[in-house]
Amino acid sequence: MTRPRTRIQQKNSETILEAALDVFSTYGFRGATLDQIAEVAGLSKPNLLYYFPSKEAMHQALLARLLDTWLDPLREMDKDGDPITEILAYVRRKVELSRDFPRESRLFANEILQGAPRIQDAIETDLKRLVDEKSAILSLWMDQGRIARLPPQHLIFSIWALTQHYADFDIQVRAVLGPGHDPFSEAGEYLDTLFRKLLAPQ
């Protein structure tokens, strides 16, 4: 029987995962080292390995948390709601996710760019099932003439691309916009206008 972790053990575990998130989101899985994570966490390498037996274990723990966080905004899309309101609310939630969790977004992007070796199963099961479910709702709304007819999966892809860009390419976005701009506030307004026009029934 596994003993529950003490408060100090739980705190150290969270400290390590926070440090690992910093390092992985900056250097990617391949570029990250245990020494870097230990330094950011302010712990010795043996102490690190007491809580997590490997770099892979830390990465896997972060990805397991992240996938749920990433899917939650899409889960909230309600088939009984007003279609345009529901889709725009999803877009806003994705912008907020990019604003509030930029390191997590880059961690996820890095994993996908490497061929998703650690979350392939989840992508092919949980993610695909959810996208299929919401695509069916989008198709129903299109059949009812409540939103424009578009390929539903590609509509979801475009929302991902246009919102996650602000986290994954944050430095580029801020450099181009210059000082005095709030990228996420401006993105929210722009994307609201863009998708209202795109989704308006013909």
Q: Tell me the pLDDT tens digit for each residue of 84-124.
A: 999 999 999 999 999 999 999 998 898 898 888 888 888 99
Structure confidence at residue 1 as a pLDDT band (50, 70, 90)? very low
List, in order, residues 6 or more apart from 137 with CB less than 8 Å away: 77, 79
Domain containing 104 equals 64-199
Sign of CA dihedral 125, 130, 131, 132: positive
- 115 and 148: one domain? yes
- 81 and 37: one domain? no
- 16 and 75: one domain? no
CA 35 to mean position of chain CA atoms: 26
Whole-model pTM: value is 0.86
Q: Is residue 94 part of a domain?
A: yes
- 171 and 73: one domain? yes
- 43 and 87: one domain? no
Q: Is residue 59 part of a domain?
A: no
pLDDT of 198:
97
CATH of the domain at 37: 1.10.10.60
Q: Is residue 178 part of a domain?
A: yes
For range 22-49, the mean pLDDT:
92
Task: Render pLDDT for 51-84 as a digit per residue (tens, 0 to 9).
Answer: 999 999 999 899 888 888 889 999 999 999 999 9
Tally of structural domains, the chain: 2
Quote the percentage of the chain above a pLDDT of 90: 76
pLDDT of 23:
95
- 47 and 87: one domain? no
**Is pLDDT of 194 > 60?**
yes
- In 3D, which of 140, 173, 134 has the Cα closest to residue 155? 134
Mean pLDDT rounded to a whole number for the chain: 92
pLDDT of 7:
83
SS3 state at 54:
coil
For range 2-10, the mean pLDDT:
73
CA distance 39 to 28: 17
CATH of the domain at 115: 1.10.357.10
Choose the final residue of a domain: 34, 53, 72. Answer: 53
CA distance 1 to 11: 22
- 2 and 101: one domain? no
pLDDT of 6:
84
pLDDT of 3:
57
**Is pLDDT of 9 > 90?**
no
- 109 and 157: one domain? yes
Structure confidence at residue 15 as a pLDDT band (50, 70, 90)? very high
CA distance 24 to 62: 10
**Is pLDDT of 5 > 80?**
no
